């Protein structure tokens, strides 16, 4: 018997979420972001869920090669660009568009001998201070790209540090507009937060990530309220039930102690499955569809839950760790992190089932 834990990836939810992106920003080119193995959902699953996207954007060159090998023919955009000259050669061979954020990447482009082979996304540093050129260097780089024979279309790009807070994008957008002034090129700015909340940042192309998987990019609320569906459900079962008396403790460190008699359930899911160890007592969970909460410390292979609201629960009862019933955003917030991290951290030992209502 395998352990009862199971992650279900819903291709239908991905399609639904992509359709929500299209509604928010009609007519824009949509790059569905599939870095980090499709935010933990599996690269092939993401490519299937986002088959209607105009292109896929990612970071890893081996993953881009796999997408091409599996028949993805539409554009691919490498969000951190080339890490070395070999990546540029691969990009020319496999028609990968490259972000250029740094001077030596410009040098590497000189080696591309096919005229116009490589589309480039020239990145401006609008205040995040990770990747991208400052204003003068940005404009110089644009001019230089125009003289490199191997370069095809150039798009102007920036990434917003604070699109998830009201007004947080304003200053960065002003800087970007000023840097782009008079440059004849398309623009791409928006991540999920800006796709949802900053129409002025929609530009010509969007780059949504987390919202496509049914996670919120914002610090409060959850993705359901944004009309999005969870693309990942993590479920397991109770493997034991314990009756506690007042004063009894639960789990490592005895961080939870019963105040009164209570029934608790032991769930086959722990931090080695990708559940956050920092989830405190009170983190939301559902048993047989009934909302309840975790108790005590999350261990490597198990966690414990309060069965008071679910008197009928017994070993074998179903537990939803996150999914349609329990928001991954709420679990993340309780644990001091974001839904993005939980999705990406789903552990390899968890079996994944794919749900696709449209499959033959």
Ligand X SMILES: *Cc1c(COP(=O)(O)O)cnc(C)c1O
Q: Which residues of the shown chain bind ligand X in the complex (CB under 6 A)? A: 33, 35, 79, 159, 191-192, 207-210, 217
Rounded CA separation 214/242 (Å): 34
Q: Please list the active-site residues.
A: 35, 252
CB of 174 to ligand X, least distance (A): 19
In order, the DSSP letters of 17-76 are HHHHHHHHSTT-EEEEE-HHHHHTT-HHHHHHHTTTSSEEEES-HHHHHHHHHTT--S-E
CB of 99 vs ligand X, minimal distance in Å = 7
- For ligand X, which is the closer residue by CB, 32 or 286? 32
Nearer to ligand X, 210 or 342 (CB): 210
DSSP 94: H
Smaller CB distance to ligand X: residue 208 or 274?
208
Q: Count H helices and E strands in the chain, helices first.
A: 11, 18
* DSSP code at position 133: B
Residues in a beta bridge with 32: 56
* Sign of the alpha-carbon dihedral angle for 13, 16, 18, 20: negative
170-180 and 135-145 helices, crossing angle to 10°: 40
Residue number of the CB closest to ligand X reads 209
CB nearer ligand X, residue 99 or residue 267: 99
For residue 306, the minimal CB distance to ligand X (Å) is 33
Q: What is the CA 179 to chain-centroid distance, rounded?
A: 29
- Closest approach of Cβ 77 to ligand X, in Å? 9
Closest CA to 210 of 3, 21, 1: 21
Least distance between ligand X and beta carbon 67 (Å): 16
Residue with Cβ nearer ligand X (100 or 250): 100
């Amino acid at each position: 018997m395998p352990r009862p834990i199971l992650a279900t990836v819903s291709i239908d939810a991905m399609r639904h979420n992509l359709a929500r992106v299209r509604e928010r920003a009609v007519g824009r080119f949509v790059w569905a972001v599939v870095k980090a193995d499709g935010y933990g959902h599996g690269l092939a699953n993401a490519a299937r869920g986002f088959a209607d996207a105009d292109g896929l954007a990612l970071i890893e060159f081996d993953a881009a090669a796999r997408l091409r090998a599996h028949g993805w023919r539409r554009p691919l955009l490498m969000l951190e660009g080339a890490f070395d000259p070999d990546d540029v050669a691969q990009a020319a061979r496999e028609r990968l568009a490259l972000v250029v954020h740094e001077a030596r990447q410009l040098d590497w482009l000189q080696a591309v001998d096919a005229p116009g082979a490589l589309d480039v996304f020239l990145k401006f540093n609008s205040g995040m201070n990770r990747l991208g050129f400052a204003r003068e260097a940005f404009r110089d780089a644009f001019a230089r790209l125009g003289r490199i024979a191997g370069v095809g279309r150039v798009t102007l790009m920036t990434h917003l540090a604070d699109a998830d807070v009201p007004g947080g994008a304003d200053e960065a957008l002003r800087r970007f507009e000023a840097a782009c002034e008079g440059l004849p090129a398309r623009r791409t700015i928006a991540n999920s937060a800006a796709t949802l909340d900053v129409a002025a940042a929609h530009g010509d192309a969007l780059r949504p990530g987390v919202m496509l998987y049914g996670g919120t990019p914002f610090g409060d609320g959850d993705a359901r309220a944004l009309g999005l569906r969870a693309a990942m459900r993590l479920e397991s079962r109770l493997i034991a039930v314990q009756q506690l008396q007042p004063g009894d403790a639960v789990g490592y460190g005895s961080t939870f102690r019963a105040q009164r008699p209570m029934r608790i359930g032991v769930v086959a899911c722990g931090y080695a499955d990708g559940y956050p160890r920092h989830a405190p007592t009170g983190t939301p969970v559902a048993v047989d569809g009934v909302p309840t909460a975790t108790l005590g410390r999350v261990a490597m292979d198990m966690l414990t839950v309060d069965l008071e609201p679910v008197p009928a629960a017994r070993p074998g009862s179903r537990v939803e760790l996150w999914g349609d019933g329990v928001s991954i955003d709420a679990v993340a917030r309780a644990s001091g992190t974001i839904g993005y991290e939980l999705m990406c951290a789903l552990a390899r030992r968890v079996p994944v089932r794919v749900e696709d209502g449209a499959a033959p």
